[in-house]
Amino acid sequence: MLLTAALGWAAPLLWRLNSHMPGSAADIDVATMVWNVGFVQVAIESRASLLYSDAILIPFGADLRAHTYGLFPALLVYPIAAAFDALTAFNAMLLLTLVLNGWMAYALFRQIGAGAAASTVAATALMLSGPSLDQLRVGRPIFAAIWIICAAMIAAQRLLAKPSLGSLLLVAAALVAAAFTDLQMLLFTVLWLIGLLLWFVARERDLDASRMLALGLAAAFAAVPFLTIFYPAFSADAIPLATPGYQEAVRYSYRWWDYFVPWVLPHAIGGYELALAAVAGMFFLRHDSRIRFWLAGALVLFVLALGPELKFTGMPMPFAVLAWWEPLQQFRTPSRLTIPAAIGLAAVMALVADRWLSRWPARTVVWCAGAAVVLRVVLASLQHPLATQTYPVFDAYRQMAESGEAGSIVEVPFGVRSGLDRIGNGGEALQFYQHIHRRPIMNAMVARLPAEVFAFYRRHPSLFVLAGEHTDATDQEIAMDFDNILDLIGAGFIVIHRGMMNSKQLAEVDHLIALNARATPWVTEGDLTVFRITRPLRPSSSIEKRGGVSRAPVPVHDHDDWRCVLGHDRVHGEPCPVARHHVLLTAVPLAGESPERTRGKHDAAQRYLDTIGQRRDALTLPSTVMGSVSIELWDLSDPERLGSASAATFPVPPLPPGWRAPVSRLGAAGCGGTDPCASLRSISRRESRAGRRFHERPRAACHPLQEFQTVPF
């Protein structure tokens, strides 16, 4: 019956699993969710990391630990992705989540003592509750995976009743599954488990050594992957992620009266029948401790869903306490706490309904239970209808996937979005096609990103043009910047989705492409236009001398030459061959290199450029990808050569004897005893949310640039 009810609500999607996905055209998060499934498939087949992707947000890549990733459910449907495709597997994941929500809820309600009929009715009410369906219908099934919470509660109750290795492992497995589904799901699960433990202690007034040991081991097993994998991404020593502000949490909170407004109640509480069950449960609080526990747990979560302050009053609320821990500061949507709160109301409904249904004849019970299930499906379909959408299928993407040419793709319109910031409007949805062509792209939506990523993209006026945003740069500056971008990301193709842009944006994009001599038309398919990018020959260790007709290479191998190319007009009274250059500090990671060493090498290189007095617009990649260092100089002084090969990569020359800038976090391994920097005091930097704290300590250090390898990017 539960399966039939689930499929009844999901009927609009059932026969189009390989072509459609949930949501309307405005719901673009689903494109990222499909990409998640596709990326897991690619990572498994290519034996790449499952927690880091260099396929999006190039040249940065994405740390998927801070993303709404859904690794665990994606692994569950990997066989479907391998047999069919990522879209089919994603839709299967959504249906699987919905059905498991009902089955696990039924098992939980049976375990707490409700009869089969009452458990079926309550499980249907929970499976089709508003807060969960509101996530499923827009393509976010990982936020609605309450079956994991139910499984954890079942295992924990068995563990507290009679400790055993099996129940211990089940609790730990449920917590790990929650963490690798979404960290919000882990939070919901932990809150319910804490409530269950407190209730057990209050009721039994005894927690013996065997139970304490079993609970401690279960928590320890689950804590290992969290502390070793997820926590480092949010700690003070990590690359700083943008953190939601206080007002973000207030914005995504419920108002207290939303729980009583008839047209909001299905979304806020879960359904009219759950609200009635809560009222009916009040009359049995004295007689049934089980109802007291489940109703109290639901009420606590509903209070937390009101956010850090009571709206329009400024009165602090309990949710504000969660901000004490750095990882919890990333949780900006208190309203989602109504998703696990509905479990408590559904449990109350099961216990209350069982009091009546257990007294009725079996035939009457079957008819009443069936009618209740049908009514719930009808209400869910009316109040939370499942709409579907489809993205056009382009054969050009498959041609690019099969092409032997290397190179990333510039998707137009350009769009990057996190939960807190964005560039463009809708271009991030083109991440959907990445699982088809499997080439690196810049467009993406990742839940949390370092602010440096957005700052980097915003320094490029050509990306503003591609995103449909305003820029004050001239055509010449935009054209040169776009050519630089093509080289920086190693672009092989430009893909323009004309149907996603208005006429003004389309005209600006066409003008920009026309200015670039390297973009040649390749394929036109519907409203899709694809350009192929020709790659220029670039010198590897010299810079072309500008001025007049002279193009003779001028070697750059000493400190004075660097002062010239980095912005000085004259050195020692002699004119420099180049007066204006755009300097780009980029890098390629070294295999096996620790984050501390790469950050130190990056900091040393940046200080080197700063110390020798360069005047430039420096674009610095985040230290997570810093390994070998390459400094590229882009000539801005020759308008006639816009769009042509005007870049060079240089080896970093030795430092002058008088240079004494500090070296950050460089180890002494492999250094010779005659190193001129060995007597320096190094600075170990620790970044925190409150700012930067510096701890100075003496340590032997290598020459700051001794280990650099010049690798053309």
Residue 703 in any domain: the answer is: no
* Token reading at 27: 């719901």
**633, 585 in Cβ contact below 8 A?**
no
Per-residue burial over 58-72, b = 16 or more CB atoms within 10 Å of its CB, e = otherwise = bbbbbbbbbbbbbbb
Residue 28 in any domain: the answer is: no
Residue 7 in any domain: the answer is: yes
Cα dihedral 214, 216, 219, 220, rounded to 10, equals -110
Q: Distance of CA 298 to CAs 204, 295, 487, 525, 644, Å?
A: 21, 5, 55, 53, 65
Distance, in Å, from the CA atom of 655 to the CA atom of 604, rounded to the nearest integer, reads: 11
Distance, in Å, from the CA atom of 508 to the CA atom of 491, rounded to the nearest integer, reads: 20
The continuous run of DSSP H or E covering 417 comes out as: strand 416-417
In 3-state terms, what secondary structure has residue 234? helix
179 and 154 fall within a common domain: yes
Q: Residue 555, Cβ neighbours under 10 Å: how many?
A: 10
Residue 71 in any domain: the answer is: no
Sign of CA dihedral 246, 247, 251, 256: positive
Task: Give all strands (DSSP E) within 304-384, no chain letters.
Answer: 309-310, 315-316
Q: Residue 5, Cβ neighbours under 10 Å: how many?
A: 22
In 3-state terms, what secondary structure has residue 301? helix
323 and 216 fall within a common domain: yes
Distance, in Å, from the CA atom of 709 to the CA atom of 523, rounded to the nearest integer, reads: 39
What's at 46, amino acid-wise? S
Per-residue pLDDT, 598:
53
Residue entry with tokens 């747990």: 297
Indicate the number of domains in the chain.
3
The parent domain of residue 525 ranges over 400-533
**144, 22 in Cβ contact below 8 A?**
no
Distance, in Å, from the CA atom of 585 to the CA atom of 634, rounded to the nearest integer, reads: 11
Residue 155 in any domain: the answer is: yes
Question: Which of the 8 DSSP states describes residue 329?
Answer: G
Q: What is the DSSP string of 600-619?
A: HHHHHHHHHHHHTT--S--E
94 and 242 fall within a common domain: yes
451 and 365 fall within a common domain: no
Residues making up the chain, counted from first to last: 713
Q: Tens of pLDDT along 264-291?
A: 999 999 999 999 999 999 999 888 889 9
347 and 319 fall within a common domain: yes
Q: Distance of CA 536 to CAs 326, 425, 482, 648, Å?
A: 46, 32, 14, 11
558 and 529 fall within a common domain: no
Residue 74 in any domain: the answer is: no
Per-residue pLDDT, 429:
94
* Token reading at 612: 């020798």
Residue 549 in any domain: the answer is: no
Per-residue pLDDT, 359:
87
Per-residue pLDDT, 175:
96
Q: What are phi and psi of 55, to 5 degrees?
A: -90, -15
Task: Give 327's contacts (C-beta < 8 A, 6+ positions apart).
Answer: 183, 230, 231, 234
* Token reading at 505: 């944006």
508 and 624 fall within a common domain: no
Q: Distance of CA 56 to CAs 425, 441, 476, 591, Å?
A: 17, 5, 28, 20
Average pLDDT for runs of 10 along the chain of length 713: 94 93 93 96 93 91 91 96 96 97 97 94 96 95 96 95 92 95 94 94 82 91 91 72 82 92 93 94 89 95 93 88 80 92 96 90 91 94 94 94 88 94 93 94 92 89 95 91 89 95 94 92 94 62 28 35 44 45 41 55 54 38 34 38 32 36 27 28 26 28 28 25
381 and 407 fall within a common domain: no
Long-range contacts of 313-322 (CB under 8 A, 24+ apart): 319/249, 319/253
Among candidate residues 119, 159, 150, the one with its CA nearest the CA of residue 132: 150
Per-residue pLDDT, 367:
93
Distance, in Å, from the CA atom of 272 to the CA atom of 712, rounded to the nearest integer, reads: 63
The pTM for the full model equals 0.76
**424, 410 in Cβ contact below 8 A?**
no
Task: Give 98's contacts (C-beta < 8 A, 6+ positions apart).
Answer: 6, 9, 10, 127, 136, 141, 144
What's at 565, amino acid-wise? V
Q: Distance of CA 213 to CAs 97, 144, 165, 218, 251, Å?
A: 32, 31, 11, 9, 42
Q: Where are the alpha helices (DSSP H) in 439-555?
A: 451-458, 461-467, 475-488, 503-515
199 and 244 fall within a common domain: yes
Q: Distance of CA 335 to CAs 218, 271, 338, 494, Å?
A: 29, 16, 6, 40
358 and 484 fall within a common domain: no
What's at 79, amino acid-wise? P
409 and 341 fall within a common domain: no
Domain boundary among 504, 533, 562: 533
Strand partners, 629: 587
Per-residue pLDDT, 575:
52
In 3-state terms, what secondary structure has residue 223? helix
376 and 258 fall within a common domain: yes
Per-residue pLDDT, 451:
84
Distance, in Å, from the CA atom of 598 to the CA atom of 590, rounded to the nearest integer, reads: 8
Question: Quick one: residue 312, left, alpha or beta (phi over 0 = left, psi -120 to 50 = alpha)?
Answer: left
DSSP 3-state percent helix, strand, coil across the chain (nearest 5): 50, 15, 35
Domain boundary among 473, 503, 533: 533
**29, 100 in Cβ contact below 8 A?**
no
Residue 39 in any domain: the answer is: no
CB neighbour class for 183 (10 Å; exposed up to 12, middle 13-18, buried from 19) = buried
The continuous run of DSSP H or E covering 222 comes out as: helix 209-225
